[in-house]
Structure 1
Amino acid sequence: MANISNTQYFKVNTDPEYRVKEILDTVYDAMAEKGYNPVNQIVGYIMSGDPTYITSYKNARSMIMKVERDELVEELLKEYIKNRTWEQK
């Protein structure tokens, strides 16, 4: 049994073939062009894993499915922390 007093490390191995930031940009733009709310749709996809939250327009659905959802969350969180939006208020 694992010692629960130790911190567990979570490391995501990113595949250099896929640029998560570029994929998020492309998916966001495709969703906006089709008239969807990109934030709501991407959150729906991340939370459920259901790819139908993402439009197939401009190949966005197949692109986002090439990246693990935890990688998407990691990238979004890194950008959020980097921008330190809570300090700008």
Structure 2
Amino acid sequence: MPDLNSTQYFKVNNETEIAVKDILEAVYIALTEKGYNPVSQIVGYIMSGDPTYVTSYKNARYLIMKVERDELLEELLKNYIEVNLK
């Protein structure tokens, strides 16, 4: 029998969640296609928080702003460690 004294929570996701790595890939591709150095631009964004480092082409700016900068850094560091230190 359910506990009638407790409130139950129901969460509705309005948007499909995209993995951080997928966002980084999409942003990387958009920056490359527009002729930017994607590494420099993404570093500039992470360091400053200024979204104008990322092009709005293919919604790259919108996508990268959906993720906290520390999450981006965590994903990049995790990948670096997996590839280079293991």
Assess if the C-alpha contact under 8 Å between 1:27 and 1:60 holds in 2.
Answer: yes
Runs (4 or more) in structure 1 with deviation over 4 Å come to: none
Q: Distance in 2 between matches of 1:84 and 1:40?
A: 20
Rg comparison, structure with higher value: 2
The normalised TM-score by structure 2 is 0.79
Match of 2:39 in 1: 39
Match of 1:27 in 2: 27
1:21-66: CA deviations, max 9, x gaps? 0000000000000000000000000000000000000000000000
Q: How does 1:6-21 map to 2 (within 5 A)?
A: 17-21=17-21
Q: Distance in 2 between matches of 1:18 and 1:57?
A: 18
Match of 1:70 in 2: 70
Seq. identity, %: 72
Q: How does 1:40-59 map to 2 (within 5 A)?
A: 40-59=40-59
Q: Distance in 1 between matches of 2:31 and 2:17?
A: 23
Assess if the C-alpha contact under 8 Å between 1:28 and 1:38 holds in 2.
Answer: yes
* CA root-mean-square deviation: 1.5
**How many equivalent pairs are there?**
71
The normalised TM-score by structure 1 is 0.76
Q: Distance in 2 between matches of 1:50 and 1:43?
A: 11
